Amino acid sequence: MDSVKRLISLLTHLILAGAVSYAQPQTSNGVTYLMNEAVDVSQDFRELGNILFLADHLESFDVATGEGLVNWQRHQLVPRQAFNTNLRQPQRLRMLDFPGTAYENNPSYRFSIDFVSPRTVRIRMLTTIVDPGENPDEIMLAGPVPSSDAWTGSETEEAVTYRSEYGQIEIEKNPWRIVIKDAEGKVLTETAAIRDNRSSQVKYTPFSFIKRGRDNARLINPVFRLAPSEMILGCGESATALNKAGQKVHLYVTDPQGPETDQMYKPIPFFMSDRGYGMFMHTSAPVTCDFGASYIGLNKLFMGDENLDLFIFLGEPKDILDEYTSLVGKTQMPPLWSFGTWMSRITYFTQEEGYDVASKIRENKYPCDVIHFDTGWFDVDWQCDYKFSPKRFSDPAKMLADLKDMGFHVSLWQLPYFSQKNVFFPELVEKGLYVKNGNGQLPQEDVVLDFSNPETVKWYQDKIAGLLKIGVGAIKVDFGEGAPLDGQYASGKSGWYEHNLYPARYNKAVADITREINGENIIWARSAWAGSQRYPLHWGGDASTDDTGMIGTLHSGLSFGLSGFSFWSHDMGGFVRSTPEELYCRWLPFGFLTSHTRAHGAPPTEPWLYESEEVQNVFRKSAEMKYRLMPYVYAQAKECTEKGLPMVRAMFIEFPDDPGAWKVDDQYLFGSQILVAPLFEEGTTSRTVYLPGGKWIDYQTGKVYNPGWHQIEADGELPVIMLVRDGSALPHIALAQSTTDMDWSKITVKVYNTSGKASTGLFCLPSDGKLQKFTVQGSKISGITGTNAKVSR
């Protein structure tokens, strides 16, 4: 132990004395880069000192194997003056490399196409002769990539074409170009070539890769055509407008301090287009997507990776999400109790507070299933040691058991960073379980757990297991966005490739041990990357306590759902300060009409601590509504896990042929049959709502609306507009204060129908997990088994 103390003392002395060397601060567009800001990969492609290689022609190709060579022509960006304006322009370059016999001026590298399913194609390209092969430590994909024989290939002098019943992939030979078409032959998108520049005065850079002058690193930039008015959606939990066309989106995990900026806790390298295709960039390196921001007709994917591994999906949004989540893994079904209310704040500090909150919830009849202890359940606030403070929790195991008897599960906060004052800091340093710098030492002040190290995972899971074994129900997987970019990881990779993977490894570590000990799929995480969707669930971070935070939260949830995640939550009312009563009342119904519902943030969050009876009533009635709707919620959630769909659902997923449904991003579908339009402005009681498809029926008042635009008054008990799709049958259950007390042997099916035709719905018993599709005609229900169901109108 003394040697560890001496090591820590020496490290501290060296840091203070400036003896430990650090890399010079990076700059981005002339501005000093601050730690953990999003990386703009596109800036490297503007540097005049880099060598540029443009995809030129198909040198060779075998139709049967789908493999060949693409020739890349050497260029360099040079300034071009025109009337006192300097612009960058690609120009052919003659190689000056020495010895000239060792290198190629215009190299040819491997290119391949594989067929994963009738709707999914995989395109891979190398920028070196070294093939990295498959990654043995793969975490983004759910398993080995399947192959499909549904595609047939043919060849002419001009092109190679592959066809399935859902589309076509055409590989033009000279200039080299990939053309993506639907089944009827309509071009959905295609790659851009240098010869396309002839019709434009703006001399953009087409499909290319660079060899960076400062280190010879290679970075690839696939460039595709963007059609007029084309819409791009997805890319993770983004708070900006749902349509990303015209935006530059950085796919780099950050802590943006809330859902109000262009940076993200949960960027996902996947997007879809309203033209009928989607793309998954299989990389963990930083990516900057320029969706028509710098040139309105191009989709430029600036990737920090030296190779391209791109999956292309064909179909409507539901098809694309199903294909994508079949590849990366679908969300697992979380336990029933997780869909109930989570009561929390910053923070409960004592065992007595836990009992008091539980009794107040039950006294005041606020349906609830979870009590969360945030940063203060250990001795020192924010200093996690995985132990309940003995000064403030006399018998935590008994408390957990008592709360369980009252119908409450308990969630606990923790994080993967350890400051120098944390009790585990010396042990973690001694055992080398942290992310290191190039010198094998700490890259920053805190220890950051290295989840690419199996020994670290074991150490960490042992700590979490100790809590789960005494009765804890869920672990809050907070932070995870700060993995050092310049760190060295046990995987053998640098932070350039591990930073974005860190949340997926972190999520997995907690989810795996929770499943092992408790047998349930449940975490409560803030950060994510591709692969994290297999480990539910995630919440939206620290929203501002105002209308901006509210609309940013909805945008984030919708975009997250369009990126392969079925479940999501957020802090109702915002996180930063005590929520004003009027705002809380508008936000609460939105929060309860989300797959998972949590009251959290600066106190008070508890409704009984508000003087206003309106807050208390809106909270109670919102919770009661969700608990009565629990059979609908649970069945819809089950379908989401089977099809890769989100519970908080963009309108166009259900109505892909309605142009209006694609343009609305301030309302949503809760599952497939309920439309929700929150009130986003102070003092409003009505708003404009777009209704796609057929008629809609107000859940609260029974009013009927035709499709189209409407100004609708929120004149029910709750300050929200909530409509049910005509022809829907929604299963309900008798109100209970906890999901533990729900009687699933008696189900009431409420019918919303203006035509007299059969109504349809979904049902799933938690006891068997089997999804049932049922119909209602008159008073007869067909398709529901295992319960006594009756019709109510």
Active site residues: 478, 481, 542
Compute the distance between CA of residue 313 and CA of residue 335 in angstroms, rounded to an integer: 31
Alpha-carbon distance values, 295 to 56, 244, 291 (Å): 21, 14, 8
- 527 CB contacts (<8 Å, ≥6 apart)? 253, 265, 266, 477, 479, 480, 481, 502, 503, 506, 507
Q: Is the dihedral of CA 336, 341, 346, 347 positive or negative?
A: negative
Please give the DSSP secondary-structure letter assigned to residue 253: B
Q: If we measure between CA atoms, which residue out of 734, 732, 705 comes closest to residue 721?
A: 705
Alpha-carbon distance values, 559 to 184, 478, 649 (Å): 29, 21, 9
Helix (H) or strand (E) segment spanning residue 750:
strand 746-752
- 10 CB contacts (<8 Å, ≥6 apart)? none
Could you tell me the two tokens for 72? 């890349």
Tell me the residue length of the chain: 793
Could you tell me the two tokens for 156? 């002419």
Q: Are 244 and 536 in contact (CB under 8 A)?
A: no
- State yes or no: cis peptide before 99, omega within 30 of 0: yes
Compute the distance between CA of residue 638 and CA of residue 625 in angstroms, rounded to an integer: 20
Compute the distance between CA of residue 443 and CA of residue 450 in angstroms, rounded to an integer: 12
Number of separate helices (H) and strands (E) present in the chain: 14, 44
Q: If we measure between CA atoms, which residue out of 721, 791, 722 comes closest to residue 759?
A: 791
Using a 10 angstrom Cβ sphere, with 0-12 exposed, 13-18 middle and 19 or more buried, the burial of residue 1 is exposed
Quick count: other Cβ atoms within 10 Å of Cβ 144? 8
Could you tell me the two tokens for 728? 């829907």
Give the 3-state DSSP-derived string for 375-439, with helices as H, strands as E and coil as C: CCCCCCCCCCCCCCCCCCCCCHHHHHHHHHHCCCEEEEEECCEECCCCCCHHHHHHHCCECECCC
Q: If we measure between CA atoms, which residue out of 624, 492, 62, 525 comes closest to residue 253?
A: 525
Strand, coil or helix: 748: strand
For β-strands 771-777 and 708-713, DSSP reports them as unpaired
Q: What angle do CA 50, 53, 56 make, to 5 degrees?
A: 165
Compute the distance between CA of residue 411 and CA of residue 374 in angstroms, rounded to an integer: 8
Beta-bridge mates of residue 250: 288
Strand, coil or helix: 205: coil
Strand, coil or helix: 302: strand
Compute the distance between CA of residue 259 and CA of residue 541 in angstroms, rounded to an integer: 7
Q: What is the CA radius of gyration of the chain?
A: 28
- 47 CB contacts (<8 Å, ≥6 apart)? 77, 210, 212, 213
Compute the distance between CA of residue 100 and CA of residue 510 in angstroms, rounded to an integer: 53
Long-range contact set of residues 216-219: C-beta below 8 Å, sequence gap at least 24: 217/306, 218/127, 218/128, 218/306, 219/41, 219/44, 219/45, 219/302, 219/303, 219/304, 219/305, 219/306
Could you tell me the two tokens for 521? 């799929």
Count of alpha carbons within 13 angstroms of residue 321, beta-carbon side: 32
Compute the distance between CA of residue 98 and CA of residue 79 in angstroms, rounded to an integer: 26
